[in-house]
Amino acid sequence: MSEPHFLVHSPKDNVGVVVVEDLKAGTEMLGVVTEGDTTLNLKAEHDVPIGHKVALQDLGAGDTVIKYGEDIGKMVGDAKTGEHVHTHNLKTKRW
């Protein structure tokens, strides 16, 4: 297997975390779901920095974001599958 471009912690997650430097839009990405050791493939629709999230499905404003199998916040903007998810379109529900 090739090295993954992103990791997903739980099959419940709707975002993955990019684990390579300089991920460019158009890249055919390999993802690994660590719980269960399965893989998935997505096309990067944006450049995504290492450590940032990528949408595993279409997400809209108001949707709950799941990472580590847990609610980490809500979308305040849209992100289609393969798009960048970060502070520009995701906010915590704490404040």
Q: What is the domain partition of the chain in residue ranges?
A: 6-91
Residue 9, Ramachandran bin (φ over 0: left; ψ between -120 and 50: alpha; else beta): alpha
* pLDDT score recorded for residue 1: 60
pLDDT tier at 2, thresholds 50, 70, 90: confident
Residues of the chain above pLDDT 90, percent: 94
pLDDT of residue 58: 98
pLDDT in tens, 42-85: 999 999 999 999 999 999 999 999 999 999 999 999 999 999 99
CATH topology of domain 6-91: 2.30.130
Q: Edge-to-edge, what's the strand order for the sheet holding 15-18?
A: 38-43, 28-33, 6-8, 15-18, 53-55, 84-85
**Which pLDDT score, from 0 to 100, does residue 27 have?**
98
- φ/ψ bin of 56: left (φ > 0), alpha (ψ from -120 to 50), beta (otherwise): alpha
